[in-house]
Chains A and B, each alone.
Chain A
Amino acid sequence: MNDNEKEEAANLKEEFEWVLREEVHAILHQLHTVLVECAHRFPVPLYGNEGQKQDKFILTSQPEQLKCILTLTGDSITHADISFKVLRQMHLMCRTSINQDGPWKLQQIQDAANHLQQAIGYIDNVDKHYVFRSSEEVLHIIQCLIGSLQRARTALVLPKKKAIDELMKSRNMKALSPNLPEDLAISFYIQSHKLIFVAYQLSSVHGTMRIDSCQADCAVPWLSDVLFMLTAALHMCQQLKDKLCVFSQYKDFTVGSRSASTVFN
């Protein structure tokens, strides 16, 4: 190693120590602010947020195939008036409702909120005065954070697919009043910033099962905010991770690995 390279390595090391000492805490603090703000957009009790906000939505599809007026309280649809046309009997309207006693729970909201809370927990666990001594320590925290944030985002963006018989047996379906006939099913789920309502109809054509569906959706304002903030937070994590990875090629970089005289002069 010539003198120039030595000087460069020394400078890099100093920079690395600065990142661990100052930058990591600053970014974690910033992340915390973003995530708490995100938590406050959730309509459920979460991280000092009182929760249980109520929203009303109307979902219709053209041409008047189905209509649903619903109230979303927290993570559950507490009230809904549902009517849709049965496909092969166009004149027949099917009506049902959701009421207070048997709310339709949107598990996706609770899952996303819990993952978010876990992410905030990882930051809360780091003492503000803690001195990081290696990049592995920070990378581990960042990796946990990225994992939780990604799961939170995925919970909202990619709804889990369910088999039709699973849906028909579900607690939500059984709580409808009046109950739907056996060949009909409905479902509510979230996909990105939208709340989606689907009506399914099972029929038997030449002995094979056929499923027809029609759907309607509406935008949920707080969901776009939440998704935006989750993405922003994920990006901040990734940037910090990339920053630390630059130093990872110098394996012997840990705080205190420099001799004392160079640290304090």
Chain B
Amino acid sequence: MTPRCLLVGHTAPVTCLSRASIIQDNNFIVSSSEAGEMCTWDLVDGKCRESVKLTQVHTNIQAYHMCNSEDLRLFCNGYYAEILIMDPFSLEILFSLSSKMNPDWISALHVLRPSSRKDDVVLAISITGTVKVWSLLGHENKQSEPIYENESKQIRCLNALSLNCCAYNQRTVLIVCAKYCQIYDAGDFSVLCSIQAPSGERWMSGDFLAPDRVLVWSTEGKGYLYKLPANKLRGRAINSSVPDHKGFHGPTVEHDSPVLYGILAHPDNKLLSCPPAMRFILTSVGGKQRRLLLRGDSAGVVLLWNVDDAAMPVPNKVMSRAPIVTTSLEMAWAEMSPSPVGILDQLSHPDEPEIKLTASIYLLAANRLVVGREDGSIIIVNATHTVQLQLLHGNHQQLDDWPPHQLLLGHNGRVNCLLYPHHVHHRYDRAYLVSGGIDFAVCLWDLFSGALLHRFCVHAGEITQLIVPPHNCSPRIQKCICAVASDHSVTLLSLTERKCVTLASRHLFPVVTIKWRPADDFMVVGCSDGTVYVWQMETGHLDRVLNGMIAEEVLAACDETSADELGGSISSGTDLQGLANPAVHFFRGLRHRNLTAMRAATQRGLAALHASERGSNAGPLAEPARARPPPLTIQGFRSNPADPESHILFFDIEGLIVELLSEEYSAMSPASLEAAGLITSEYMKVAALTQSASPDAAKKISGFLSYKIVNKIGVILRTLSWIDFFGRVKDKAGDMERLLKEKDKHGILAKMKEGAENMQTKIQAKADQLKSQLDAKGKWDGR
């Protein structure tokens, strides 16, 4: 068992997972989160194929192959009174099942096809204990009349956790509640027998192993195997059962209560922060069916028990079974050889404990990587050098103390966040670097000299976030940065005055969003309970506290005003002056589902775009309007707030090509450029061509570029990616050439080609150089 991918995308805890494809070894799964987000993931490349946000939040999904359908259908239940049937790939709601009798949330459901019948049956129980049955014919759709249950019955079973029909004897149903689980007769829903949860444990779920055997698992992460008393069960599969057996409805006596005959346990019971997730799975290995119990816990440990081994009861003996597989994420990382590299590995010594990296930013212009660490130190290092050191083999690895780094000491304990305000807006001093730590302090550093310029000690909790206020605030606020702390306080700290301008600290709940209304001098603070606090920035006066709908509207209004200001430049100078940004109107229309408003906004937006295009059609050498993304960016990343940071390196190949090309051309004198016929209208055409090709190309590139050179991915993989990387650069250049050839009708290509070839040889040389390096490394790795 090896970890394959890390799927990133949900903004809230994931509540349920389900397979999506009908093929057994499928590579698609569906996940659903507490925020109502659903995603379909491709497990081959870890990409999200489809996502949707619903108002309904699911707590459970059963994937089921319905009759009359080629694909699986997802049967979902959750914090709503219906059962939703969804398509796993389009994530559309196909139809829903409603209740006539005591409509309430469905707490568990089971879909099955009874033997000797062609239709599918949905059996469900509501949280108040009403059992309901729907029969599906396969032609249900969204337009059809509400589909109500065919039968329903009230039973004494509140807050059921799972409901399962016996696959071997469809006359019995297992319903699991926290304190007990019960076997019911599917015909009249009378209780046949009941099993209490072991003391100190609660049941989580369970399933049938055989007509008379069940497996139930508990919050302690243990599986319990029970044999059911045969005289209590009914149905054709039970030999001893006759339709009117006396024992059916009799009181449970000692000898015919279920007998525990096996326990699936784990010898080392580490302390967990929450009950583990467990699932009973059927797989077939080499044509042989295997039944497994899978468990994953909060420490990242995965256990697997073979249920079949334990399935045969031994009289008068409780067998305890150990898991057949025990693994954990930690073990998987530890087993990697060579072990994955970290971005600052040169600083750690083998005999000293590792200092965790806790925050990082990449300063693009200076090509510096700033990394905050757990011990309070901040390291500044040349980014390409440190990347080179970790990823490429060569002489530079033999050098001692290379690359040189700068060390900033000032925090007492973990550095939580870093900010380089000049990046966000050029009004800030180029030298300013701001950091926030666990020691409640915000430190202002001189990036070049490494001096600690000031320590702001105004918060009463660890600093969690540093933000830059918008550029159109009052002059005094413009020189401030905004800090958020875990004591729910927000401050505006003036970097030039070296003091706190505003302390906003009346918030009862953690701060989740900060928005701005610069024109009114307001800072709008949204808290986790939905309350909104409006503060005057200059005076530090709490203007008002809002709740509920008004709070939502005020937050939304902040977005609209800021978008208006951005859009102002587009609409200025035309007859559209005075109207707000079309995009805002578009979204407002979308929110209110007003098609006319949306249409009008779109037309206005297009008109404005055309107008601005005409205006900006300046000389042939005008810079392309869109700024290129930098060829290399370094992004800090963590999968768990307690984990140290890993880093993802993003390479923009197209950006690299453009950079090399422009380097090439800038070396040419204007005369040679003109001789090559490049400074003409035709040059513009080529420029336009490369421009128009980019969005689509950029998408393609980002596709394979989003492979992550996280410092935890094996060297081999990285080697492959590098080869892949340069292989594709070559392809890309070829593509570009073909594209130009196709569209070129004025013979400009011939002139261009020289340059392009030049460029190609340059890349080729670089690729070859790298390849030989990698080959050498490959040998060294023994491959």
| A151 on interface, CB distance cutoff 8 Å | yes
Beta-carbon contacts of A108-135 to B below 8 Å, as 1s and 0s? Answer: 0011001101000100010100000110
> Considering residues B202, B438, B593, which has the most beta carbons from chain A within 10 angstroms of its beta carbon?
B593
* Distance to closest chain A CB from B103 (angstroms): 7
Which residues of B lie under 8 Å from residue A117 when comparing CB positions? 127, 159
The 9 sampled A-B contact pairs (Cβ below 8 Å) are A107-B80, A114-B105, A117-B127, A151-B79, A153-B529, A191-B549, A238-B510, A249-B413, A249-B462
Which positions 167-220 of chain A face chain B at CB distance < 8 Å? Answer: 171, 191-192, 208-209
Tell whether, in the assembled complex, residue B81 and residue A110 are in contact, meaning their CB atoms are under 8 Å apart.
yes
A140 to B690, CA, bound (A): 52
Known: A121-B159, A245-B486. A238 touches B79 (CB 8 A): no
Tell whether, in the assembled complex, residue B548 and residue A192 are in contact, meaning their CB atoms are under 8 Å apart.
yes
Tell whether, in the assembled complex, residue B548 and residue A191 are in contact, meaning their CB atoms are under 8 Å apart.
yes
A45 to B158, CA, bound (A): 12
Known: A137-B274, A150-B529, A191-B549. A160 touches B55 (CB 8 A): yes
Which residues of A lie under 8 Å from residue B98 when comparing CB positions? 171
Known: A107-B81, A127-B200, A238-B509. A158 touches B271 (CB 8 A): no
Q: Which of A107, A171, A191, A238 has a CB less than 8 Å from the CB of B146?
A: A171
Which positions 203-254 of chain A face chain B at CB distance < 8 Å? Answer: 208-209, 231, 234-235, 238, 242, 245, 249, 251, 254
Residue of B nearest to A150 (CB): B529
Tell whether, in the assembled complex, residue A114 and residue B127 are in contact, meaning their CB atoms are under 8 Å apart.
yes
* Distance to closest chain B CB from A32 (angstroms): 17
A105 to B80, CA, bound (A): 13
Which residues of A lie under 8 Å from residue B438 when comparing CB positions? 249
| A163 on interface, CB distance cutoff 8 Å | yes
Which residues of A lie under 8 Å from residue B508 when comparing CB positions? 235, 238
* Distance to closest chain A CB from B655 (angstroms): 41
Tell whether, in the assembled complex, residue A234 and residue B529 are in contact, meaning their CB atoms are under 8 Å apart.
yes
Which residues of B lie under 8 Å from residue A245 when comparing CB positions? 486
| B34 on interface, CB distance cutoff 8 Å | yes
| A139 on interface, CB distance cutoff 8 Å | yes
A150 to B547, CA, bound (A): 13
| B659 on interface, CB distance cutoff 8 Å | no
Tell whether, in the assembled complex, residue B79 and residue A114 are in contact, meaning their CB atoms are under 8 Å apart.
yes
| B564 on interface, CB distance cutoff 8 Å | no
* Distance to closest chain A CB from B441 (angstroms): 14
Residue of A nearest to B509 (CB): A238
Tell whether, in the assembled complex, residue A125 and residue B178 are in contact, meaning their CB atoms are under 8 Å apart.
yes
Which positions 516-569 of chain B face chain A at CB distance < 8 Å? Answer: 528-530, 547-549, 552
Known: A133-B271, A157-B547. A111 touches B79 (CB 8 A): yes
Tell whether, in the assembled complex, residue B178 and residue A158 are in contact, meaning their CB atoms are under 8 Å apart.
no
* Distance to closest chain A CB from B275 (angstroms): 9
Tell whether, in the assembled complex, residue A136 and residue B273 are in contact, meaning their CB atoms are under 8 Å apart.
yes
Tell whether, in the assembled complex, residue A139 and residue B273 are in contact, meaning their CB atoms are under 8 Å apart.
yes
Tell whether, in the assembled complex, residue B79 and residue A163 are in contact, meaning their CB atoms are under 8 Å apart.
no
Which positions 105-163 of chain B face chain A at CB distance < 8 Å? Answer: 105, 127-128, 146, 159
From DSSP, what is the main secondary structure of chain A's interface residues?
helix
A107-B80, A111-B80, A140-B274 are known contacts; what are 13 more A-B pairs with Cβ within 8 Å? Answer: A45-B128, A105-B103, A111-B79, A114-B105, A115-B79, A125-B202, A154-B530, A157-B548, A192-B547, A192-B549, A235-B508, A238-B510, A251-B642
Tell whether, in the assembled complex, residue A208 and residue B273 are in contact, meaning their CB atoms are under 8 Å apart.
no
Tell whether, in the assembled complex, residue B273 and residue A137 are in contact, meaning their CB atoms are under 8 Å apart.
yes
Residue of A nearest to B438 (CB): A249
A160 to B79, CA, bound (A): 13
Residue of A nearest to B143 (CB): A169
* Distance to closest chain B CB from A172 (angstroms): 12
Which residues of B lie under 8 Å from residue A249 when comparing CB positions? 413-414, 438, 462
Beta-carbon contacts of A38-82 to B below 8 Å, as 1s and 0s? Answer: 000000010000000000000000000000000000000000000
Q: Which of B104, B271, B414 has a CB less than 8 Å from the CB of A114?
A: B104
Tell whether, in the assembled complex, residue B271 and residue A110 are in contact, meaning their CB atoms are under 8 Å apart.
no
Tell whether, in the assembled complex, residue B271 and residue A134 are in contact, meaning their CB atoms are under 8 Å apart.
yes
Which residues of A lie under 8 Å from residue B55 when comparing CB positions? 160
Which residues of A lie under 8 Å from residue B2 when comparing CB positions? none
Residue of A nearest to B103 (CB): A105
* Distance to closest chain A CB from B78 (angstroms): 11
Residue of A nearest to B527 (CB): A238
Which residues of A lie under 8 Å from residue B80 when comparing CB positions? 107, 111
* Distance to closest chain B CB from A41 (angstroms): 19
Which residues of B lie under 8 Å from residue A137 when comparing CB positions? 271-274
A79 to B159, CA, bound (A): 30
Known: A238-B508, A249-B413. A231 touches B202 (CB 8 A): no
| B395 on interface, CB distance cutoff 8 Å | no
> Considering residues B272, B486, B509, which has the most beta carbons from chain A within 10 angstroms of its beta carbon?
B509
A231 to B548, CA, bound (A): 12
Tell whether, in the assembled complex, residue A163 and residue B593 are in contact, meaning their CB atoms are under 8 Å apart.
yes
* Distance to closest chain A CB from B65 (angstroms): 29
* Distance to closest chain B CB from A223 (angstroms): 12
